[in-house]
Amino acid sequence: MARIENTVFISYSHKDEEWKDRLVTHLGVLERQGILDLWNDRRIALGDDWRPEIENAISRASIAILMVSANFLTSKFIVDEELPKFLERRANDGLRVIPLIVRPCAWKRVDWLAKLQGGTKDNKPLSSGSEYEIDSVLAALTDKVAEIIQNAEFHEIPETSRAASRAASPAYAFEPQMVNIPAGTFTMGSNDNHDEKPPHKVNLSEYFIGKYPVTNREYQAFVKDAKYKAPKGWNGDQFPQNKAEHPVVNVSWHDAVAYCAWLSKKTGKTYRLPTEAEWEKAARGTDGRKYPWGNKPEPNRDLLNYNDNVEDTTEVGSYEDGHSPYGVYDMAGNVWEWVHDWYSTTYYQKSPPKNPLGPNSGKYRVLRGGSWNNVNNYARSANRVNDTPDYVGDLIGFRCARSLP
């Protein structure tokens, strides 16, 4: 196994050194307690080769804090060297990337940056606050970093999982990003609703699941290539304006299956809808947590798109702190997701303990995850609803799964 340490990497422009020093002062409380190893380039000894030192620190970091300013966004080394490595590690290993806006700048113009949950409320620049407000923000960020580290499941990453994660990288622009879910047992169900009872152990083989729900951009490739009927709300084969990275909606279970079949043919890989058990394990992991992010806090607007807070879908991956233990996003809120299984209120009472596929027949298919207009209870990872497989609505989308060859 490769060791991923509790290293917090601070990426900053030297022109913003004063802000880095203030952050270091706050995070230093955790370092003195042995909770983390704080790293920035001022730790490089005189005469050492600085480039491999930085690359090594990035490779072992569990959290990267980006101190964003115009200086940061125009630094050639940061943009060309550091940021690509951060984003690659974020995609493959679950590196937590936290932007901290220190001065007003055009950060919203950077697509990937605009999607990340920042270290300040509404990504308000630190420099716009009073001394008290600045210290309050940095203290809160320090608490958040401590919480992330204490709850982390990324200290040991098996080499096989790293290889599988790399193998899941899409080969085509229209192919969804996939996340590897290792084989093993988890607890499925709960005692909250009658159709979730009883909680029971399920053993699943290794598989891949979509990192995000299928987006309009990804679904558009299918519509155009297969000459498939476009969802309601599209203009011919054109999805609604400015919604390329929103989850596709107004798709039936049959549409989702047809997309998976087309994607399989185009890529030579076997894509399908996840089973209900696969979806739930990817959402809650193996510790029986209530929500993808844990048992607490309760759902709020910083963790998911729900309860009509936005009154529409949002770009996939918008809620950094709401992802599952495996780094799967939007498993709570945004859109309901079709899964493979037929629905039965009593299936859990007799389901097989290994790789359950659901009932052999039925009238309704299962939907999971809640949507942008549903309240707290529907965000629970064990929650189940159902509808007829030909139903379409602006709350419903899907994500793909794939078994190992």
pLDDT one-digit tens code per residue, 77-120: 999 889 988 888 887 777 889 999 999 999 988 888 887 766 66
Q: Which residues contact 286 (CB under 8 A, 6 or more apart)?
A: 184, 185, 186, 187, 325
Contact 64, 96 (CB under 8 A): yes
Q: What angle do CA 256, 261, 263 make, to 5 degrees?
A: 95
Please give the Cα distance from 341 to 135 (Å, whole number): 51
The beta-carbon contacts of 167-170 under 8 Å, at least 24 apart in sequence, are: 168/208, 169/91, 169/92
163-403: CATH class: alpha beta
Instruction: Give every strand in the sheet of 365-368, ordered side by side.
Output: 385-387, 365-368, 336-342, 396-398
pLDDT reported for residue 161: 39
Q: What percent of the chain has pLDDT over 90?
A: 69
Say yes or no to pLDDT of 160 above 80: no
For the chain, domain boundaries: 2-156, 163-403
Specify the range with the lowest mean pLDDT, choosing from 155-164, 284-293, 356-365. Answer: 155-164
Band (pLDDT 50/70/90 cuts) for residue 1 is very low
Please give the Cα distance from 340 to 253 (Å, whole number): 8
pLDDT reported for residue 173: 75
Specify the range with the lowest mean pLDDT, choosing from 156-160, 232-236, 342-346, 360-364. Answer: 156-160
2-156: CATH class: alpha beta
Q: What is the pTM of this model?
A: 0.62
Same fold, 2-156 and 163-403: no
